A and B are shown apart, each in its own frame.
Chain A
Amino acid sequence: MLNWLSSTDASDSQAVPSTNDEWMTALQGPDPDSTALEELRQTLVRGLQAALRKRVPRRADTLAEDFAQDALVKILDKLDTFRGESQFTTWAQKIAVRTALSELRRKRWNDVSLNDMLSEDEGGPTRPGVAASPEVEDDPAESTSQRLLMDRVQRIIQEELTERQRKAVTAVMHDMPLQEVADRMDTTRNALYKAIYDGRQKVKRALDDEGISAQRLLDELG
């Protein structure tokens, strides 16, 4: 990769690609066109700078350069998965953005363990830099019927979800990124989403079996 990027011999290069076919032709194979590579890198940097300025304003430009480099490697590696359903640069930028945000999350949450997110009653939030707010067990504004309903919901959640599902739900609901929870549970983000989805479906069915429809629950929650 570094050799390709540092090789700027114009005699080996073609025109800057504009169509998807031209991008694919320029980048496929063991010796990608250096002009196309540099054009793609600059495009990714420009896009990442804009995306990162809102999120890490002081470091956006430096990080954009680093993330673009990482993303280029991934893009070349995944070229055969490009289906041509969007512009090539949109597809490539999608990969670059995920690369960048995943790395930012990893750094931001690096020092937070899953257990930090889970207090003994599975309710304690510990977002980085945010103090835990005091626990409130009972809401005085909650009516008796609401309280009884929520007690039943809590019981069913406890009965239907596995401990792993409860941990995942708790961490995600307390704003830990799904990717970070997945990493700590030795699974993938997609698999964890599916596991939580399965859990939600299971609890919803169990509630329904007890005569608590989704609509009733939403009505009660207001």
Chain B
Amino acid sequence: MDRSFLQKVARAIANTQPEEIGCDECFAELDRFAELARSGESADALMPKVDDHLQRCRDCREEYEALLDALDAIDE
């Protein structure tokens, strides 16, 4: 196994939390999380498990970022 790759995996293992939510739970909360973030509230503090999942899951993070872009546009 390539060393830099192994280090990346090891870092992910070391940062594993006792409780993490999956993609479905994240998606179920994503609209509320996005509205909190856009209103200036600390979405990460209010919904830490969603925030944690978004840090870990690139698919969900991309969708969240795209959702923010979309919401900005429809509010214009």
A interface with B by C-beta (< 8 Å) = 43, 46-52, 54-55, 85-87, 89-91, 93-94, 96-98, 100-101, 105, 121-123, 135-139, 142, 150, 153-154, 157, 169-170, 172-175, 177-179, 189-191, 193-194, 197, 200-201, 203-204, 207, 214-215, 217-218, 221
Are A94 and B3 interface neighbours, CB within 8 A?
no
- B34 lies within 8 A of A218 (CB): no
Judging by beta carbons under 8 Å apart, are A190 and B71 in contact? no
Q: Which of B12, B16, B27, B58 has the most CB of A within 10 A?
A: B16
Query: Do residues B6 and A200 form an inter-chain contact, with CB atoms below 8 A?
Result: no
B residues neighboring A (CB under 8 Å): 1-16, 20, 22-24, 27, 30-32, 34-35, 57-59, 62-63, 66-67, 69-74
**B5 to nearest A CB, angstroms?**
5
Instruction: Tell me what chain B mostly uses at the interface: helix, strand, loop, or mixed.
Output: helix
Residues of B close to A105: CB separation below 8 A: 59
Residues in B whose Cβ lies below 8 Å from that of A214: 13-16
Q: Specify the main secondary structure of chain A where it touches its partner.
A: helix
Give Cα A101 to B23, complex, Å: 14
Q: List 10 A-B contacts (CB under 8 A).
A: A46-B73, A90-B67, A93-B67, A93-B71, A93-B74, A121-B2, A193-B23, A197-B20, A217-B11, A221-B10
